[in-house]
Amino acid sequence: MTIRIQKSFEQREGTGTLYLVATPIGNLEDMTYRAVRVLKEADCIAAEDTRQTRKLLTHFGISTRLVSYHEHNKQASGPELIRMIESGQSIALVSDAGMPAISDPGYDLVRLAVEAEVPVVPVPGANAALSALVVSGLPTERFLFAGFLPREKKKLREQLDRLGRVPATILLYESPHRVAKTLEAIREAWGEASVAMVRELTKRYEEVARGTVGDCIEWLKANEPLGEYCLVVDRNGAVAAQSAGAGGEAEGAGPWWAELPLEAHVERYERETGDRKEAMKRAAADRGVSKRDIYNALLGK
């Protein structure tokens, strides 16, 4: 085993630093003194959208050179940025809003920096997911950030099935034109649950809607979705209840269906959904096999 230790504030000769600098998610007053200083002192700022970042830099009187680093140029730009750091320059990485490397290509640059053994230093600040969590009123002791869910229906269902087995508060990002469909998919996969729909965080029209999944769906029918959303869904007790209700132990005993015969597994879902085909599809997703395998196995009984 090889372990590499980084001492973030230890002076190193000839090597620069990669700073991960948080920027405001809406309210410019959330910019920290340290973030402004680091952006001013850096040799270069790598930005996801240079036009957006330039507005921020102008507001704070920052004239540091700006370069582009995003999903479509990261293969070429990433190694070049690492080369600059190895030559002694310090790079500040920013995303359009919030912490870089969260739901953006900053992760890839951090991975390259770690592999090159150059220092990576966080400059923390605003974050939409954590802000939504703490204001939600839902349990905060255990949570899972899942970002944006897949758009394709099958992959969406598979992702929700996986997430549904985690006893935690689930944090999701969603756009206004998809939030209602996502809530419908959540209700189909998980049933009713306590939810907080948080939108426009730190901005003038910041809003938190708290209720069940069904309550939120009905609210959106009467109130047009506007702005970017963070969905906070309580799955803490629900997962434990499902496990216990299926005759398993609440936590640490594997999935609730592990000890069930296949037929009982499918029947459980059929009672919930009223649809035999849907029940077989869910059981297949649980067991990591195809729906045809489930059908053939039941046919042979």
Whole-angstrom Cα distance, residue 228 to residue 196? 14
Specify the amino acid at residue 205: Y
- For residue 266, what pLDDT is reported? 87
- Whether 150 is covered by a domain: the verdict is yes
Q: Render 162-180 in DSSP notation, one character per residue.
A: HHTTS-SEEEEEE-TTTHH
- For residue 289, what pLDDT is reported? 81
When divided into structural domains, the chain yields a total of 3
Structural domain harbouring 92: 18-126
**Same domain? 22 vs 111:** yes
- Whether 102 is covered by a domain: the verdict is yes
- Whether 143 is covered by a domain: the verdict is yes
- For residue 251, what pLDDT is reported? 46
- End-of-domain residue from the set 106, 126, 146: 126
pLDDT by position in tens, the chain (length 301): 688 899 998 877 889 999 999 999 999 999 999 999 999 999 999 999 999 999 999 999 999 999 999 999 999 999 999 999 999 999 999 999 999 999 889 999 999 999 999 999 999 999 999 999 999 999 999 999 999 999 999 999 999 999 988 989 999 999 999 999 999 999 999 988 899 999 999 999 999 999 999 999 999 999 999 999 999 999 987 654 555 444 444 444 456 677 778 888 888 878 777 788 888 888 887 787 888 888 888 886 5
**Same domain? 212 vs 230:** yes
- For residue 242, what pLDDT is reported? 54
**Same domain? 173 vs 234:** yes
Task: Count the neighbouring beta carbons within 10 Å of the beta carbon of residue 43.
Answer: 16
Whole-angstrom Cα distance, residue 172 to residue 197? 10
- For residue 90, what pLDDT is reported? 97
Whole-angstrom Cα distance, residue 81 to residue 49? 16
CA quadruple 124, 126, 132, 136: dihedral sign: positive
* Inter-residue contact 67 to 98 (CB < 8 Å): no
Alpha helices (runs of H) in the chain, residue ranges in sequence order: 33-41, 50-59, 74-86, 106-115, 128-136, 153-163, 179-190, 213-222, 236-245, 262-273, 276-287, 291-299
For residue 176, what is the domain's CATH number? 3.30.950.10
The DSSP bridge pattern shows strands 229-234 and 194-199 to be antiparallel
**Same domain? 122 vs 137:** no
